[in-house]
Amino acid sequence: MTKETFKISGMHCAACATRIERTLNREVGIESANVNLVMEKGTVSYDPSQISSAQIFEKIEKIGFQAHAIETQQQTRERKQRELKQQKYKFLAALILSLPLLYTMFGHFSFLSFVPVPELFMNRWFQLTLATPVQFILGWQFYVGAYQSLSNKSANMDVLVAMGTSAAYFYSIYLMFTHEIGHHVSLYFETSAVLITLILLGKYLEKRAKGHASDAIEKLASLQVRNAEVERDGQIQYMSIDDVKVGDIVRVRSGEQIPLDGVLVEGWSTVDESMLTGESIPVDKTVGDTVIGSTLNQQNFIKVRVTHTGDDLVLNQIIQVVEAAQGDKPQIQRLADQVSNVFVPVVVSIALLAFVVWYFLIAPFELSQALEIFIAVIVIACPCALGLATPTSIMVGSGRAAEAGILFKTAEALEQTHRMDTLVFDKTGTLTVGKPQVMTEYRLISNEAIGSYMRSLEQQSEHPLSKAIVKYFEQETVLPVEDYETHTGNGISGTVNGQHVVIGAVDYIEQHALLDQSTRQKVTELQQTGATVIAMTIDAEVAMVLGIRDEPKEEARHVLAQLQSNYELIMLSGDSETTARAIGRELGISNVIAGVKPDEKAQVIADLQQQGKKVMMIGDGLNDAPALVKSDIGVAMGSGSDFALESADIALIKGNLQHIAESLKLSHLTIRNIKQNLFFAFCYNMIGIPFAAMGFLAPWLAGTAMAFSSVSVVLNALRLKHIAK
């Protein structure tokens, strides 16, 4: 299957998006189609051997919409500004033509008889002249949309607008030609013109507000550096970052942004990574350190070897993750979609029923009265608010989270996170700094080469503890290693200088050698301080014991105390019971599961889920992948380089534990915001439609309420930009 995302223009409401989805999902070769109304994007998974992207575009165009390739951020910005300007001019033109018609309404009410109304304004031909361009030029888009919708055996907002305004317009023409000239007759040109004007105003305000919903994406995209100074073939060249290749050396002066992800190869400096991590304190960088594109070099001239370009850049991956989450559909939106599918036909039925009841029973044969009721019901029921309720909140919520360094990879993750009741933390790299250091060394034999044995074997491993040991013994000579072997979750072994060496956890070492009472005592003392104890045997004799400690993160205790009142907290560790509980006591976690090997973590998660718990697993993204996948929500801690870990639902770029609490809060606030929007949209229709059917709402007032409902839903979603700060 191929997955492709593209732009779709011409959508007006939730029914439009639903119609495109329904049309595409019926096609052979298409596995799934998802359309996002707010972002105006479609995502389709399809089999290219059965259907092409060109054919998909053709299917979309046949039902009245336009599909085209994804634009650049600049193109999107320019197009939105152009469309917003066009919408504004349409509204202003409609307003100028409708104001005189609106003024004539004063002449319809006896209690406003003191307001002078020019005779010209009451002239039927003058009213027709003003109303016609509003109806058929400025309002032509509604007829086109209604025709396309009905021709595809569905109905959308355009159908309601076209029906309501046409009824008022053509009934007015009927009255013009069935009453003598000079005879005063109440026409309804102002009803149709004012309704279209109000709807155009609502669309303009809605489009302007929706533009702010994607501010986070645009802000991230605007951070991208466009050009780089590159050393290539002995020459210094200035070029676009699109032309830079992996392996090129880029030169960055003090005060300049680092153009691309890479490794520092010359010089040292401090780098401001706040745009990526939210951390205001600059980070010291020296040769061998990783730097991230678009961060700011603050201090010295440096050279960087490029390691990633294009879509592989950290910043571009962040943008892709946020866009994917914003284009995704959470479960809560499916309810709104199901309602939208039947909404328009139901509303038309209610409007027709109201017309019949008023015409034959309540106000017998008063066609104008029954028609007003019909128009009011049709207009007030436009389902714009319903279609905007969920995607707008998802866009703003996920965008705000990205600004804080929290990446929800799907809308489903954003929706489900607040439901968690059990938080399971991996210890190393999650609750601790992830940079263990050798604190204590006990040599149990007199062999002076045991430091070399330890370094030689450990430098074969990528384990964090191995790196700490190699650093500690960096002055020792490296010896050749044969028959190297990794024993997952236990240790490593190999042959050095013809002697069999085993290094690992004390429990594992005891399977290869005996520990005397004195050594056992030292091991216990080290474990009680929270140190991880590693032992080494040479030819089945215990040669050395090391105490390695990974300090807890500075914010860990405070954050865990903050979470303790609302969630069950569990710490997972591969360390011994004594060591793990010592760290647990230091951090304030009483529920500690120790001695867990990497491949056993997923089973621990499964056991908790069997007890009915909703489990969030927080790991450092190295050996926690199975547990992250198994959990209800998986959270990967780490720097920007591993934020996109495939197995995680949420990635915390900065690796700050405080963001756990913030992600839970953001999820709660976003879902609450969606529910507020849906409640308002449903209540608006449940109250508005009966009121209109009972004759309490004039058509122009119904149009005002309809426009207000859409704008208010978007504005409510935009509150998330401030609440979550």
Residues annotated as catalytic are 426
Question: Residue 87 has which token pair?
Answer: 């919408």
Fill in the amino acid letter for 162.
A
d(CA 652, CA 493): 35
Query: Which of 349, 215, 200, 338 has the alpha carbon at shortest distance from 710?
Result: 200
Distance of CA 89 to the CA centre of its chain: 33
**Measured CA angle at 351 (ends 347, 357), to 5 deg:** 140
Polymer length in residues for the chain: 725
C-beta atoms surrounding 535 within 10 Å: 26
C-beta atoms surrounding 516 within 10 Å: 9
Fill in the amino acid letter for 12.
H
Distance of CA 464 to the CA centre of its chain: 32
**Buried b / exposed e along 586-619 (16+ C-beta atoms within 10 A):** ebebeebbbbbebeebbebbeebeeeebbbbbbb
φ, ψ for residue 205, nearest 5 deg: -65, -40
First CA to last CA across the chain, in angstroms? 40
CA dihedral 199, 205, 207, 213 (to 10 degrees): -140
d(CA 521, CA 465): 22
Q: Tell me if 301 sits within 8 A of 253, measured CB to CB.
A: yes
Query: Which of 570, 284, 583, 279 has the alpha carbon at shortest distance from 436?
Result: 583
d(CA 379, CA 347): 10
